Amino acid sequence: MTEPPKQTPYGLLYPPANLGRQLLNFVGVCGLSLVLGFLPRLAFGEISEMASTLLHVPFVLVFGFGYAGWAARLHALGMQFLGRSIFKVLFQLILFRRKPQSLAEVLPDKEKLLEMAVRGQKATSSFLIVSFPIALLAAFATLFIKTELGWFLRFPVVGAPVVLWGWWLMRLGRRGHLPFPESGE
Q: What is the pLDDT of residues 85-118, one digit of tens each?
A: 777 777 777 777 777 676 666 677 788 888 888 9
Cα–Cα distance, 128 to 171 (Å, whole number): 9
**65 closest CA partner among 104, 94, 33:** 33
Sorted by sequence, the CB contacts under 8 Å of residue 106 that are 6+ apart come out as 85, 86, 89, 100
Model confidence over 53-93: pLDDT tens digits? Answer: 888 899 999 999 999 999 999 988 888 877 777 777 777 77
Average pLDDT, the chain: 85
- Calculate mean pLDDT across residues 41-53: 76
Collapsing DSSP to helix, strand or coil, 11 comes out as strand
- Which strand (E) or helix (H) includes residue 77? helix 49-78
Highest mean pLDDT (candidates 70-79, 140-149, 165-174): 165-174
**58 closest CA partner among 127, 135, 172, 124:** 135
- Calculate mean pLDDT across residues 127-136: 96
**123 closest CA partner among 165, 82, 71:** 71
In the prediction, which pLDDT does 59 show?
94
In the prediction, which pLDDT does 94 show?
79
Model confidence over 1-26: pLDDT tens digits? Answer: 568 888 988 889 999 899 999 999 99
Task: Look at 185 and 71; give whichever has higher pLDDT.
Answer: 71
